[in-house]
Amino acid sequence: MGETVEIPRIALVAILDSMRMNCVVLEKLLRGEPITTLDPIEPVEPFDFDEAERSALEEPDDETE
């Protein structure tokens, strides 16, 4: 119990993409729009894990003049 498991990056991308698709479908349902399997999916910029990691590791500048 309490075991830490590392999720491969490719799996995380697949999970996030699936969640995005669910949000698209839910949004259409809430608007009362019909859902078809041929609906084009609006392109979304891929999440940049490397940039997010760099941003998280950067320390804020405390130097103010």
Give the total residue count for the chain.
65
pTM check: above 0.85? no
Q: Which is higher by pLDDT, 17 or 37?
A: 17
44, 23 in Cβ contact below 8 A? no
Give the count of domains, the chain: 1
DSSP helix/strand/coil, 52 = helix
3-state secondary structure 22-51: HHHHHHHHHHCCCCCCCCCCCCCCCCCHHH
Q: Give 25's Cβ-side CA count (13 Å radius).
A: 10
The range of the structural domain enclosing residue 48 comes to 9-57
Any domain includes 44: yes
pLDDT at 52 over 80: no
Any domain includes 62: no
Any domain includes 2: no
pLDDT at 37 over 70: no
